[in-house]
Chains A and B, each alone.
Chain A
C-alpha cells in the first residue's frame, strides 16, 4: 500500500470521510483555545463534568423528537448551561468551591440522563448519545459544528483579555472594575457549546477528549497563551485526521480512535516534549553562563 492510498485516498473516495475530516477541523479550531483556557483556569475536570451534564438534555430532546439534531443539541445546550449556572451560583453565593458544586450538579444531571435513556430509548440510541457517530455527520450537523467554531473564535476575541486577566490576577480585574463574573459565565457557555458540537461527532462520553487532551499536550510544547491555543488546535486536528485513518484502515470505531491518538500524543509529549517533560527533567542539558 503506497502513501497516497494510505493517507489521502480514503478522503478522496468517500464523502463521509471528507465530512468527518471537516467536522474534526471545525471542532479543533473551537476546542483548542477553549481547552487551553480551561487548563489555565484549573478547570480541566469542569469540562468533564459539563460533558456529562449535557446528557439529560440530549436525551429529553431525543424523547421529544427522535434522532433530531436541532432538538437534541438545544436540549444538551440547555442542560449544560443549567448545570454551569447553578454550580457557578452556588460557588459565588455560598462558601462552597466551584469544583464541589460542579460535581454535585453534574452527577444529578448525569443520573437523570441515564434514567431517561434507560426508560425511553433502546440500547442503540444510548450508544449513539454516548459515543456519537462522526462517520455519519450530515449537512445540518456540519453546519452546527462550523457555526459553533466561528462563534467561539469571535467571542474569545472579545472576552479573551478579560479571561486571561481573571485567571492570572482576579484581584486586579476586580480592582480596575473589569467584568469578572460576566466573563466567567460567557466562557462556561462557550465550553458547553463546544461540548454540544463535539457530542454529535464523538458522543457525550468523549466530546471532552478533543478539548482537554490537546490542551494538556500543548503545555509541553508552548509557553504563551496564544501559542498554547494554536498548538492545541493543531494537535486536535492532527489527532482527528490520524484517528479517522486508523478507524478506516483498522475498522475501529472512529470516536475512540481519535481520542486514543490524542492520548498517544499526550504520552509522547509527557515523555519527550521540549518544555518540562520527563526527558527535560532527567536528561538535563549543560547549564548556561548566565
Chain B
C-alpha cells in the first residue's frame, strides 16, 4: 500500500501537526522503555540479592563447621 508522503520532510512535518504527533509517539516510547528497563533491573537486583544471601549463608555454615572441628580437636 502506498503511503501519503512524497518526501521525508513532508512525512516528518505531518502538515502543521508534526510536533504534536511526534511528541505523542515519543513520550509513549519513552514511558514504555523506562518501565521495561525498571522491571528488568528489579528482577536482576533481586537475583543478585538472593545470590549474595546464599553466599553469606554458605560462609556462616562453613565457619560453624570450622568451629565445630576445632572443638573436636581440643
| A, B bound | no
Chain B residues near A (Cβ < 8 Å): none
Residues of chain A at the chain B interface (Cβ within 8 Å): none
